[in-house]
Every structure is written in C-alpha cells, then in structure tokens.
Amino acid sequence: MRALEAARAAEERRMDARFGLLCAVLANCHRDPKARRQPYTVEDFMPRERPRTQAELVARIRMMCGSLRST
C-alpha cells in the first residue's frame, strides 16, 4: 500500500511540474521584456504544500475566494 501511495505522490509531482512549466512559459511570454526581474521558472509555480484532507482543501479555497472578494 505504501508503494502505491509513493507512486501516486510521484505522479502528482510530475503533474505539478508539467503545469508549472506551462505556467512559466505563459508568464514569460507575457511579461514585460524591459523588466529587470529574472524570467519565471517552473519552481515559481510549484505548490508549496498540498492539503492533507478534503476539509483542508475546502477551507483554503474558501479563504482564497474571500480574499478575492475583498480586493
């Protein structure tokens, strides 16, 4: 069972890296070429920590939606 969990986690990291690469490419295509900031990297778009439970995920989504409404 632990081997399956490890394989699943590895697959999740690969998927995150794929989407991170896509996001980095899009962000670099649309960034200001005169800006002094370094180009975006895949790591800039990788998640820092995954929610452990569905309740934690729902709480994070609600927190993000609430902060978007207040701006």
User: How far apart, in whole angstroms, are the C-alpha atoms of residue 64 and residue 67?
Assistant: 5
Domain of residue 17 covers 2-69
Tell me the two tokens of residue 60.
């994070």
User: Does pLDDT of 23 surpass 90?
Assistant: yes
Token look-up 């394989």 returns 7
User: Residue 45: which of 28, 16, 20, 8 has the closest Cα?
Assistant: 20
User: Does pLDDT of 71 surpass 60?
Assistant: no
Q: Tell me how many domains the chain contains.
A: 1
What is the DSSP code (8-state) at residue 4? Answer: H
Q: How confident is the model at residue 70 (pLDDT cuts 50, 70, 90)?
A: low
User: Does pLDDT of 19 surpass 70?
Assistant: yes
Find the helix or strand (DSSP H, E) in which 71 lies: none
Residues 10-21 have a mean pLDDT of: 91
| pTM value > 0.75 | no
